[in-house]
A and B are shown apart, each in its own frame.
Chain A
Amino acid sequence: MTDLESQHRLVDAPLANPSPTAGLLEVFRRRYLLRLLVRREVNARYQASALGFLWSYINPLSQLFIFWFMMEKIMGRGTESFAIHIFCGLIVVQFFIETFNAGTRSIVRNKALVRKMAVPREMFPVASMMVSLYHIGPQLIVLVVICLFTGWTPDPVSLLGFVLALGIICLLGTGLALMFSVANVFMRDVGSVVSILSNFVRFGVPMIYPFSMVEERLGSFAHYYLLNPIADAVLLVQQAFWVGTTQDPDATQAKHIPDHLFAYGFLGLGIGFVVLILGQLVFRRFENRIPERL
């Protein structure tokens, strides 16, 4: 007993602020927790379903089928392989919208943890982004298989464009999710606003219409249309997959894909980065009030 009592354990850790202050950096320092949170979301989605993860393949396949049947067979729109054109856009748009929507609600949804545990709160919007990113996997596989059937051959440069597109949405989506997730704590209206904003996103990108149409109608103002990073991301994905599935890829590229797309893409990446920094700053500013307002 005396032995135990006299033992005076000294901890060599420094005296530090007990609440995590490094923001997004802290999230990456605690990658293991992030991984578990992402896995929790992914697993919970397909719990108690017989087909389980197969659903994430069935879903995009059915969408692709509907687009093909409705747009190409029934409505007979002029654009070639229109189903793939839409699907390329849809991958980007869904990634963005899911990140934005789920990210915005993430803090309120994880109330129990946020109010009681000292975890970096940026963790939750980031985890939402990763969950959405995870669901791109099956969509991408479906897309690649269909594209291969239609005579598409992979091209390394345009595939890099695909990666760039994902990067743009990652940064932009996380940045906006950070900003709106705090706002949502203070006013739950924000969640509804975000849903409405998402509707604009669907039509603000060349998904159910080709970019050539925008160029035709807007003329030189098409330049401003391309300042939308999400539109650039959609076009980059279309360049990577859709262009190669058409009869004459070179002609399609010239007609439907804007010049200097990569330049716009990198500009979009820059914008995404700025939004992310802003998101972090806004988050930091209001974060202290989160636990008491939940």
Chain B
Amino acid sequence: MTYPDSTSIVVDSVTKEFTLRYHRTLKQMSVALVKGRDLSDSFLALQDVSFTVDQGESIGLMGLNGSGKSTLLKLVQGVMRPDSGRVLTRGRIAGLIATGAGFHPQLTGRDNIYLNAAVLGMTEQETRRKFDEIVEFAEVGRFLETPVGNYSSGMFARLGFAVAIHVDSDIFLADEALAVGDRPFRKKCIERMQEVRESGRTLFYVSHSAGSVRKMCDRVIVLEKGKVGFDGEVNAGIRYLKYDEGPEDEPDSQDEVDDEIGNDI
């Protein structure tokens, strides 16, 4: 099957199964065998999931906990591979997932920026060019030459965030539960994500917050127990999930929307 040039992400009948292991040592396993219990069990995190995303679309991926959102994100990111079906992407992928993963506590902020940028696929020249911008965004100031093990957790997170957001990517992934930083920093991050969106890059955003999805996305995919339950227009998707019932999900002022997004990213 061929896809048009404007396709950014293809997820084609993807299934991912995880093995649950109950027993790890020989002793535990033999006891289980004697008692006739299962040695292992598996569950399907994703079942026959298919959709395509065009370039420039911003997708809100929603669903209850355990519905397979993170697994799907990891497949698109390339950390995991599907058991069957296939995932295809066009161009470089970056995003606010696992920011700061691989930071080495004994190395300085400077060294970690270079290392983290390389992990995210940036070249040496590219990192050097953006270095000052990254440092400025992270607001680590004179702690740049200090081992990151001594950073406050906010600083640590900001540094990871700053590197991730400066990678030139064609597909931008953002996962929830990365609530970091103080209010001004959150604001900056939101502006940055809006910029990403407006520059025509594909945005893939995992969230529980109806408000921020409404603000950032123009299409919603809802996962239900590893299957696509809904794929379409934003408000319909939120209604499908019944996330629009409580009054707290209808923030009236701009500030509250910002806060909500901030809590997510």
Contacts and interface: CB of A to CB of B under 8 A. Distances in A.
Please determine whether chains A and B interact with each other in the same assembly.
yes
Interface of A: 4-5, 7-11, 13-20, 30, 32-33, 36-37, 40, 43-44, 47-48, 110, 112-113, 115-119, 288-289, 291-292
Nearest to A44: B106
A18 B55 contact: no
A-B residue pairs, 4 tightest by C-beta = A18-B78, A116-B98, A118-B78, A19-B78
Interface string B165-205: 00000100000000000000000000000000011110000
Given A30-B118, A44-B104, A288-B83, 16 more contacts: A4-B199, A8-B6, A9-B56, A13-B91, A18-B89, A36-B114, A40-B104, A40-B111, A43-B111, A47-B107, A110-B102, A112-B102, A118-B79, A288-B80, A288-B81, A291-B80
A288 B19 CA distance: 12
A113 B101 contact: yes
Interface residues of B, number: 48
B107 A40 contact: yes
A162 B88 CA distance: 46
A288 B114 CA distance: 28
A36 B115 contact: yes
B119 interface: yes
A14 B6 CA distance: 11
Contacts of A119: 119
22 contacts: A5-B198, A8-B200, A9-B170, A11-B90, A13-B90, A13-B92, A19-B80, A32-B124, A33-B118, A36-B115, A40-B104, A43-B111, A47-B147, A48-B106, A112-B101, A115-B101, A117-B79, A119-B119, A289-B19, A291-B74, A291-B79, A292-B80
Nearest to A11: B91
Contacts of A289: 19
B89 A15 contact: yes
Interface in B66-109: 74-81, 83, 86-93, 97-98, 101-102, 104, 106-107
Nearest to A35: B118
Contacts of A291: 74, 79-80
Among A5, A36, A110, the one with the most B-chain Cβ atoms within 10 Å of its Cβ is A36
A20 B201 contact: no
A38 to B, nearest CB: 11
Contacts, number: 117
A18 B7 contact: no
B49 to A, nearest CB: 15
B163 to A, nearest CB: 12
Contact of A37 (B83, B115, B201): B115
A8 B8 CA distance: 12
Given A117-B79, A291-B80, A15 B3 contact: yes
B90 A292 contact: no
B180 to A, nearest CB: 16
Nearest to A43: B107
B210 to A, nearest CB: 23
Contacts of B106: 43-44, 47-48
B199 A116 contact: no
Nearest to A48: B106
A36 B107 CA distance: 12
A17 B77 CA distance: 10
A17 B56 CA distance: 19
A18 B87 contact: yes
Interface in B203-250: none
A52 B74 CA distance: 40
Nearest to B21: A293
B18 interface: yes
B144 interface: no
Among A37, A40, A288, the one with the most B-chain Cβ atoms within 10 Å of its Cβ is A40
B97 A116 contact: yes
Among A18, A19, A44, the one with the most B-chain Cβ atoms within 10 Å of its Cβ is A18
A2 to B, nearest CB: 11
Contact of A9 (B3, B55, B86): B55
Contacts of A13: 90-92, 170
Nearest to A186: B21
